[in-house]
A and B are shown apart, each in its own frame.
Chain A
């Protein structure tokens, strides 16, 4: 290898490493890591959600809608639309969850009925313990 080629290659490697040594911290600085601390379980009193109504709670930093349906009992779904992140609203008259941003609709299982959402709404696990609902 000629001395000139060697020095050019060395300069390119050193330049790239120097750039990367600044770029990596900058990238890490700008994009914080995802949340690692999972939230503890959320407890609700069953009587606070009469049949035919719903309530929104914050679980794992996400808004969750808990619906007390006449036939299906309690249902817990993420309120975050899988299209572009707006919050869906529950319409008890039609049993449909509607996203006001781009008109995506979901059924009570969270399945997409119409519109652009690519995935169903996330189902949130919960347990009924006596008179309490434990989300998570």
Chain B
């Protein structure tokens, strides 16, 4: 029976050829490690978000009068509603962690260099889209935390003269965060960001497939210690087949992702739910000690420290632009960061600064 189905598919879609081309004959470099599987982990994370998001969509009501209640009902009345919501919330945080780790490891291995600049930029756009998912989804439970975090974020354009107020009104659908903002963010979360995400992930994967998987610059026998200067698809004839060599590592990292997620859901269910996240939104009371999510703590603390609003926000936009377009700024031929003491030093200083800002912002 299985053979008959296989034969039927073989005639119509060339199944054997597909498997050969994409799994067993698709070669990956010899010197790859677990960090090469982080991109696949991020894809697993996105799939979890889509499935749990659709589950939540069935019960969630995107209206200011009902949103908070409907989320509470999902948590308390809908069978296993708590599980899907916890997976969605914890998953969103883990997903951002996976994407950030993926980008940091790509940075450390110098794999953003020519000809992979656009792969990095498309990855950066995916990071921004992921943060967009986080921010737009944050308002949907209509809690004190979500309301005031959205107020702060949507006030950011007001730092810019002339067009600032217009963009803030565009985001909010009025002068303040109201039910109109909620429906707007809901529309962005479920119907505007998903197609954008699909577009960029398709571009990202197409670029990886076209140029070939990047090797680490640390191995002795790797041919790729210097960036490529002309198009040459890296088929890695002396490398390993993708299946099972890299596939096993990706499965292992995917399992690790699930382990971390369910460990948090089981043993620390309130880890991503501070007190303000359980109180309905009140437009007349900003809660004391309000803090953003961990991945926004460093920008949050910077905004507190820089006394000028315009400068504070402009600096964050410049830093983000530098990060996204870094491959065009770093034109040094050496890929190995161990042989680049200045870049290594700058990287360490930035990492330490981020940790200090996050710790400071948390206090």
Given the interface pairs A32-B169, A85-B155, the reply to whether A63 lies near B309 with Cβ below 8 Å is no
- Flag whether A115 is at the interface (Cβ < 8 A): yes
Contact A85 B169 (CB under 8 A): no
Contact B166 A31 (CB under 8 A): yes
Complex interface residues of chain A between 25 and 72 (CB less than 8 A to chain B): 30-32, 34-35, 56, 58, 61, 63
**B267-292 interface bits toward A, Cβ cutoff 8 Å, 1 = contact, 0 = none:** 00000000000000001111111100
- Flag whether B310 is at the interface (Cβ < 8 A): yes
- Flag whether A118 is at the interface (Cβ < 8 A): yes
Complex interface residues of chain B between 107 and 152 (CB less than 8 A to chain A): 148, 151-152
Contact B309 A117 (CB under 8 A): yes
Given the interface pairs A61-B175, A87-B285, the reply to whether A116 lies near B312 with Cβ below 8 Å is yes
Given the interface pairs A31-B170, A85-B152, A102-B303, the reply to whether A116 lies near B290 with Cβ below 8 Å is no
A contact residues around B254 at 8 Å (CB): none
A contact residues around B151 at 8 Å (CB): 84-86
A contact residues around B283 at 8 Å (CB): 63
Contact A84 B156 (CB under 8 A): yes
Contact A32 B173 (CB under 8 A): yes
Contact A86 B148 (CB under 8 A): yes
Contact A83 B309 (CB under 8 A): yes
Contact B288 A89 (CB under 8 A): yes
Contact B288 A101 (CB under 8 A): no
Interface of A, helix, strand, loop or mixed by DSSP = loop
- Flag whether B195 is at the interface (Cβ < 8 A): no
- Residue count of chain A within 8 Å CB distance of chain B: 26
Given the interface pairs A61-B176, A84-B152, the reply to whether A116 lies near B169 with Cβ below 8 Å is no
* Cβ contact of B284, chosen from A35, A56, A118, cutoff 8 A: A56
CB distance from B293 to the nearest CB of A (A): 14
CB distance from A125 to the nearest CB of B (A): 20
- Flag whether A103 is at the interface (Cβ < 8 A): yes
* Cβ contact of A34, chosen from B169, B286, B288, B303, cutoff 8 A: B169
Contact A116 B310 (CB under 8 A): no
A contact residues around B284 at 8 Å (CB): 56, 58, 63, 79, 87
* Chain B: number of interface residues, binned into ranges: 20 to 34
Contact A116 B286 (CB under 8 A): no
Give the nearest-CB partner of B300 in chain A. A102
**B307-330 interface bits toward A, Cβ cutoff 8 Å, 1 = contact, 0 = none:** 111101000000000000000000
* Cβ contact of A89, chosen from B170, B286, B309, cutoff 8 A: B286
B contact residues around A117 at 8 Å (CB): 309
Give the nearest-CB partner of B148 in chain A. A86
Contact A100 B307 (CB under 8 A): no
Contact A31 B175 (CB under 8 A): no
Contact B175 A100 (CB under 8 A): no
A contact residues around B308 at 8 Å (CB): 116, 118
Contact B175 A115 (CB under 8 A): no
CB distance from B212 to the nearest CB of A (A): 39
CB distance from B211 to the nearest CB of A (A): 34
- Flag whether B174 is at the interface (Cβ < 8 A): yes
A contact residues around B288 at 8 Å (CB): 89, 100
Q: Enumerate the 8 nearest inter-chain pairs by beta-carbon distance, A residue then B residue, closest first.
A: A84-B155, A85-B155, A87-B286, A31-B170, A86-B286, A84-B152, A118-B309, A102-B304
A interface residue numbers (CB < 8 A to B): 30-32, 34-35, 56, 58, 61, 63, 79, 83-89, 99-103, 115-118
Given contacts A84-B309, A115-B304, A118-B309, 11 further A-B contacts (CB under 8 A): A30-B173, A35-B174, A56-B284, A83-B303, A84-B155, A84-B303, A85-B158, A87-B284, A87-B286, A89-B286, A100-B290
B interface residue numbers (CB < 8 A to A): 148, 151-152, 154-156, 158, 166, 169-170, 173-176, 180, 283-290, 300, 303-304, 306-310, 312
- A sample of 14 cross-chain residue pairs with beta-carbon separation below 8 angstroms, ordered by A number, consists of A32-B169, A32-B174, A63-B283, A79-B284, A83-B309, A84-B156, A99-B286, A100-B290, A101-B152, A102-B303, A102-B304, A116-B304, A118-B308, A118-B309
